[in-house]
Amino acid sequence: MHTLPGEAAELARVIAARTADPAVVRVICPPFVALAAVRDALAGSGVEVGAQNIHHELAGAYTGEVSAPMVASLAAWTIVGHSERRRDAGETDDLIGRKVRRAREAGLRIILCVGERLEEREAGRASEVVAGQLRGCLGDLEAEALADVAEDELPWLTIAYEPVWAIGTGRNAQGSDAAAMADVIRETLRSIGFGGRADFVPVLYGGSVTAANIGEFLAEPSIDGALVGGASLKPDEMAGIVGRAGVTAAARLAVIP
């Protein structure tokens, strides 16, 4: 919850100019009130626009809420299930799953957030919690929703792993932590019907990402990018993050036969 529309537009323009790399998918998700301004500012830049949230119904008497079709008129992506929504708004897996379906119906690409709290990790339940979140949010999707694209492409879904215990707590996650959870995420997706497509679902790391630590996470082959929070307000940080992603993308493309 930062920036007025004009400020958001200028910040988006600067970030787009500082992060131009055709090998890296870049999406900026401003507050709702800045979506139109950011969309206009990014026209022709190659940077896409997303919302930070949507409502779980397509329309109705839900004063103050924003629906997926409303967002789809301004953006191509939406985040759902962010840890702060789960914490502050009490969002459940069932509710988030309804948001996933509304986003699908509106043609939005989805960044679905999952992640365990500190007490859950310390209790040895991290994998169980994340797998349960995925099943709760995606487990009842119709087969058609999983089979409407080629085996090597699932463009509507990205998973962001947010270790809640490593966000603003002073405790740091390691690349190995994120990689292990990426394996859990893909195995769970396979088990609920994604099959071989699970291997092509991008998995992002989203735990206090900075230019200084992103390299550790992108060094893991199972991590495909980052969900950036506070660092997105700093163009220098974004330039460093996307620059490292570009190096990683070039290295990975170089080894594809």
Of 151 and 11, more confident: 11
Q: Quick check: is 162 catalytic?
A: yes
Which one of the listed residues 55, 91, 116, 162 is annotated catalytic? 162
Distance of alpha carbon 133 from alpha carbon 255, whole angstroms = 34
Contact in structure between 116 and 187 (CB atoms under 8 Å): no
Using the predicted structure, report yes or no on whether residue 142 has a pLDDT greater than 80.
no
What pLDDT is recorded for position 141?
Answer: 83
Using the predicted structure, report yes or no on whether residue 154 has a pLDDT greater than 60.
no
Using the predicted structure, report yes or no on whether residue 257 has a pLDDT greater than 60.
no
CA angle (96 as vertex; 93, 98 as ends), nearest 5? 115
What pLDDT is recorded for position 172?
Answer: 76
Using the predicted structure, report yes or no on whether residue 152 has a pLDDT greater than 60.
no
Q: Quick check: is 55 catalytic?
A: no
| pLDDT tens sequence across 116-133 | 999 999 999 999 999 999
Residue type present at position 144: E
- Write down the H helix ranges in 19-125: 35-41, 68-72, 83-88, 93-106, 118-122
Which one of the listed residues 82, 91, 116, 237 is annotated catalytic? 82
Using CB atoms within 10 A of its CB, is residue 183 exposed (0-12), middle (13-18) or buried (19+)?
middle
Using the predicted structure, report yes or no on whether residue 155 has a pLDDT greater than 80.
no
The whole-number average pLDDT for the span 213-242 is 97
**Domain regions of the chain by residue span:** 5-247
Q: What number does CATH give the domain 5-247?
A: 3.20.20.70
The whole-number average pLDDT for the span 46-72 is 97
Helix (H, G, I), strand (E, B) or coil at 78: strand
What does the block give as tokens for 184? 């859990």
